[in-house]
Chain A
């Protein structure tokens, strides 16, 4: 049962062939069996999940009209606040904190009857591309346990690939939904900025952060997307407009007459040969399905990474200032005679990991008087140029495409001491965040040289998220026909403990 898609599970629930409790039990069992190897979860809320499941079953028995995904379990990235449930954002500094409120995403999930299994591992405060920066140890890629599952949302993507959950919530600041999806052979969508409320999402970089759906199929992602999206008065940057019709688009899946723009700058040098091979194949399949493939150029994308590493750290240096031991979380050095200042210093010294400190220092420096214009100011200008590149390109095409990442999953530890190499992993995903538009990654096959999943990225203009699903569904169907079975069926069987 755990190998079904979320929409198949939903159908079985509606047909009365299974119950949410049964489905939840099955996933809890799977987690108990394999998670000691995968380490996708930081906290498993067995009791709460079963209670939620029972409540949904009761409503269903009572004949209540339920949301499409009601009763289907989900894994929640630990950056998302859930009332009463330990929420750490992968950091020691929040260890033991139980939020007194629900994020809007969690409220939406609960309103949809989606069962929350637990909290998934992540790079501390979503800073990283490998989940190695989690204060609670790395997550392992189910395709190869010696490799990274991507990051920051590696726990969510690994949970999907390991069949520990059929759905997951991720957040994407520079690629944290899409890159993990790419390297684990799953689907991940970063909606248009403002499409999903950020209220209750522990902020890394406010102007870039966006929560989104993670799943094993395009339709499942669409169903989850509609469940969590929509205007939220508690988030000033939330868009007050109807949610794009992504489920309908995922069901239609049509690219006839669509122009698909291949980004010249996001291909070629630096991209692994198997990644390029699978990307080219996907383009052919889309062309066969009736799309017109065109080349588009985005000359300013080459500055995106540098600008990102000024904006994101700047915002994070300020966002993370609240972790000061005064009101919640870790408190270190609170001994007789210690000043508030020394407690703040010691707590932050002990509570934050190396990458987080690196970015706080970087951001503090970039915002300093005298450097602001040269760093933060220039980075914002680059951001405008990137948006203009997208706007120009979208005059020539309906969606833009590229490989999601330059390489397949690397080995755990391989890049931990080389931040720049690590940062380069997000070179193709960052422009989407900088422009605030939507991006999707879906599996394009395995790279022949290492047998690891390759991701195909689709980018759509702001609030045109349905276009990604139209294209994604077509490509997914074509690839399924070619493979004969979902890509994940080729993943090695995970052994229990």
Chain B
């Protein structure tokens, strides 16, 4: 029988470790001049360097170094005056050199921290996540394994390789082990990744789109008996593609580990793959025999020795920390804690802010993003950021509603149209022929028609049974394709039936 989460945490303490890979948004790749634009035709963004042709040599993208230092500074890290690239050697078809240029024992940033806040049982609760290191490396190409049952290289009929992604700058942010989160472990992990994402976004160094893979999280979890000193065996869950998945994956792994431990079995040290549908993980590569990557300093690149004056300049130019920024917004908008938490939780704070910056009222902006648009995102199982609707669109819709040119109901249709890719709000309105019917004559005609069709209901209203009006108003709205202002319909209907 499956253990409940409460049973797990009554006996075990989870210990977390999170590795986050971030694709930087530099124009060119880490070690060559090729474009990094997402979604190009396969193998069109390649050159002798990123294809590892004989004789080609890497050179470092200065912008990537700058972005990494900014990240390090924002995460309160020390920036190494001297750091080195190293080769991580292993064979895989999507890695052109059959080694990855990474950093090993001399990373560029070390020893930082991030403070995160979650909603605890007794109000907000804050946790400090220590950062072990931040280092630079290059992404691999992409393999598409065709045929076979698993979609993996083994058993595939053939594989297609796309090297457009090979050499895109990646930054890896590794936490120290995170004990002491207890039952909040899944929420803390989620809050950490969200905070990291907000920080990275505020720095402007990455698109931070988890669904597109520009921010990827590997979640390490182990359990130990409460009070125990030694760490349990960990599993590393990959393929965690959304904030919600971070939370689900950790919760799922905690339960899976506890069940094994309760049965007296042992947890295998391995890589596991998170599966969105089930929320469970499946076994990947075993890490029991640590792979020997034969790291050694990359001889083709000189060490990175950033100038201390430059580092200070970057430090001074850091943007406001997202947590402080949030407090400032909350005051400006006079939003209660609970509403603020709801926005953060639904990941709409930045969108609401952008909408307000476009002139919308904070309350209206919040209610659209948190309500209708969040609902659509959930239905589509997409991140709200990836919906085809922008803050500008929402601000425009809010303005139209304020001007009486849209009703709330019509606004919802416009939002749906924009998200469906039908264009900007004005285009959706014109293409769908959406407009508020405020021509009383047209409304009266519809009302008279409805009353004639439903004489019994009309009579009830005439007799003073007002709740019956709802049915007729609904019929009028339907007859006008929802374009009427329901309040005006009611007014006209009652006038029509009661004044005679």
Taking Cβ atoms with an 8 Å cutoff, the residues of A that contact B are 80-81, 87, 89, 94, 97, 99-101, 103, 198-203, 205-207, 233-237, 314-315, 317-318, 321-324, 326-328, 339-341, 344, 364, 367-369, 372, 376
Contact = CB atoms under 8 A, between A and B. Distances in A.
B300 A234 contact: no
Interface string B4-17: 00000000000000
B302 interface: yes
A344 B92 CA distance: 10
Interface in B364-412: none
Interface of B: 48, 51-60, 87, 89, 91, 93, 96-99, 153-154, 159, 161, 290, 292, 294-296, 299-302
Nearest to B54: A202
- The CB with the most chain B CB atoms within 10 A, among A201, A321, A328, is that of A321
B55 A367 contact: no
A369 B54 contact: no
A360 to B, nearest CB: 11
B59 A234 contact: yes
Contact of B98 (A80, A81, A324, A364): A324
Contacts of B300: 203, 206, 236-237
Contacts of B91: 321, 324, 341, 344
A199 B299 CA distance: 13
B54 A97 contact: yes
Contacts of B59: 233-236
Given A326-B161, A340-B159, A318 B57 contact: no
Contact of A367 (B56, B154, B296): B296
B292 A369 contact: yes
B102 to A, nearest CB: 13
The 5 closest A-B pairs by CB, nearest first: A321-B98, A367-B294, A206-B299, A207-B299, A200-B55
Contact of B89 (A99, A341, A367): A367
A64 B58 CA distance: 36
Given A236-B300, A236-B302, A318 B54 contact: no
A369 B53 CA distance: 28
A232 B465 CA distance: 90
A341 to B, nearest CB: 8
A97 B300 CA distance: 23
A103 B49 CA distance: 12
B93 A322 contact: no
A199 B53 CA distance: 11
Contacts of B301: 236-237
B48 A318 contact: no
13 contacts: A99-B55, A101-B56, A203-B55, A203-B300, A236-B60, A236-B300, A317-B294, A318-B89, A322-B54, A322-B98, A328-B54, A367-B294, A368-B292
A101 B296 contact: no
A220 B301 CA distance: 32
B52 A369 contact: no
Contacts of B54: 81, 87, 89, 94, 97, 99, 202-203, 322-323, 328
Given A206-B299, A322-B97, A324-B93, A368 B294 contact: yes
A45 to B, nearest CB: 18
Given A322-B96, A368-B294, A103 B89 contact: no
Contacts, number: 105
A364 B153 CA distance: 25
Contacts of A233: 59
Contacts of A200: 55-56
Nearest to B33: A234
Contacts of A199: 55-57
Contact of A372 (B56, B99, B296): B296
A316 to B, nearest CB: 11
Contacts of A369: 290, 292, 294
Contacts of B87: 318
B166 to A, nearest CB: 11
Contacts of A364: 294
Given A318-B99, A367-B294, A100 B48 contact: yes
Contacts of A324: 91, 93, 98
Nearest to B58: A236
Contacts of A101: 48, 53, 56
Contacts of A103: 55
B98 A201 contact: no
Contacts of A237: 299-302
Contacts of B57: 198-199, 234-236
Given A326-B161, A327-B96, A318 B56 contact: no
A97 B54 CA distance: 10
B53 A100 contact: yes
A404 B56 CA distance: 31
A315 B295 CA distance: 11
A264 B302 CA distance: 33
A376 B297 CA distance: 11
A203 B91 CA distance: 18
Contacts of A236: 57-60, 300-302
Nearest to B97: A322
A326 to B, nearest CB: 5
Contacts of B93: 324, 326, 340, 344
Contact of A327 (B52, B60, B290): B52
Contacts of A340: 93, 153, 159
Contacts of B56: 101, 199-200
Contacts of B153: 339-340
